[in-house]
Copies of this chain bind each other. A is one copy, B any other.
Amino acid sequence: MFSERLHERAAAVGSRVCLGIDPRAELHDASPLTGVERPATSREDDAAATARAVTSYFRGLLDATADLIACCKPQSAFFEALGLPGLEALASLTAHARTLGVPVILDAKRGDIDSTAAAYASAYLTGGRLAGDALTINPYLGMDSLEPFITTADDTGRGVFVLLKTSNSGSIDLQDAPLASGVPLYRHLANMLAARAGTMPRDEHGFTALGVVVGATHASHLAELRSVLPRSVFLVPGYGAQGGTADDVAAAFDGNGRGAVVSASRSLTYASGPVGDYPTGAIDAARGAVVLMRDAINGAVARR
C-alpha cells in the first residue's frame, strides 16, 4: 500500500522531503501566461512551448534529486494553466517519477459527490496516465463525498490526503471557525477522519490510505493532530517560503520519526530564480536547497 511504499522510500534515501513541482510559466520563458485575455492560437502555442520547457527541466530535476527525496508533489493547477499541453507534461513527468521509483502525490484538491467523486477517483487513483500514487482531496462537501476516493485508494493500493488545516492565513475563516461543541471545525473534521481511518486496513507501522494535509505554519496544530490521527500520514506544505521551520514540522512525525512528509516547491525548484537558458545551474541550486531542507528536518526530528 501507498503508506508502506512511502515509508520504505523515506528510509531508503534518508529523507522526509516531498519535492513540490509547481511549474511557473514566467520562470521558464519570456512570454508568460497571465490573467489577461489573449488570442487562443498564440496562447496555445506559448503554452505548448512552455510545457516542453517545463517537462525538460523537471525531468532533469527529478533525475538529479531522486536520491534526496521521499516523494514528489506535482501541483495540478500549474499544469492545467498550460491547457492540454500542460496535462501531457503532467502525464510525462508522472511516468518519469515512476521509472525513478519516486512516489507521486498529485496535488489537485478534488472533491465532489457520489458518482462525480468516483469519476475523479477513477481519473487519479486508478491506472490512467494522469494518476499519481496519491491525491489531495477537499472535504467541504462532507464525509460521503470523500468515500469514493477512500475506497478506491484502498482498492488500488494508493492514498488520499484530505485537506484539514491549510497553511494560508485565510484558513481561519472556515477551518478555525469555533463550533458550538467547543472545538474548531478542523478538529471536528479530524475526529470524523480518525473514526474512518480506524476502520481501514493498516500497514506494518499502523498507517492507512487516509492521510491529511496540515500546514507547516501551524506547529501547535501539528502536535494536536498527530495524536488525534495516529493512522494517518501527514502531508505538510508551507515549509520555507511560507514560513514553516524544521522545528515546526518535527511535531508531524510519530515517535519513530515516521508518518509525515514535508513539501516545499518554489524555494527548492527555483532556488536560483528563473530557469531561463541555464537549467544546469538551476538544478544544482535546487539540489543544494533540497539537501539543506532534508538535513534540517532530519536534525529537528532527531532532536525531539
Contacts and interface: CB of A to CB of B under 8 A. Distances in A.
Contact of A122 (B35, B114, B139, B175): B35
Contacts of A289: none
Contact of A36 (B87, B126, B171): B126
B81 A84 contact: no
A166 B121 CA distance: 20
Given A109-B111, A141-B171, A170-B143, A122 B179 contact: no
A24 B156 CA distance: 21
25 contacts: A34-B122, A35-B122, A37-B126, A37-B156, A44-B129, A77-B112, A77-B119, A78-B116, A80-B120, A83-B123, A84-B130, A109-B111, A113-B170, A114-B168, A138-B140, A140-B163, A140-B174, A141-B171, A142-B166, A143-B170, A177-B185, A177-B188, A178-B179, A178-B181, A179-B179
B127 A37 contact: yes
Interface string A139-182: 11111110000001001100000010011111111110111111
A117 to B, nearest CB: 7
Contacts of A177: 177, 179, 185, 188
A128 interface: yes
Given A91-B84, A185-B185, A173 B192 contact: yes
Interface in A264-291: none
Interface string A36-56: 111110011001000000000
Contacts of A171: 141-142
The number of times this chain is found in the oligomer is 2
Query: Size range of the interface on A?
Result: 35 or more
A118 interface: yes
Interface string A100-119: 00000000011111111111
A156 B84 contact: no
By Cβ-Cβ distance, the 4 closest A-B pairs, closest first, are A142-B170, A144-B170, A142-B173, A77-B119
A33 interface: yes
Nearest to A37: B127
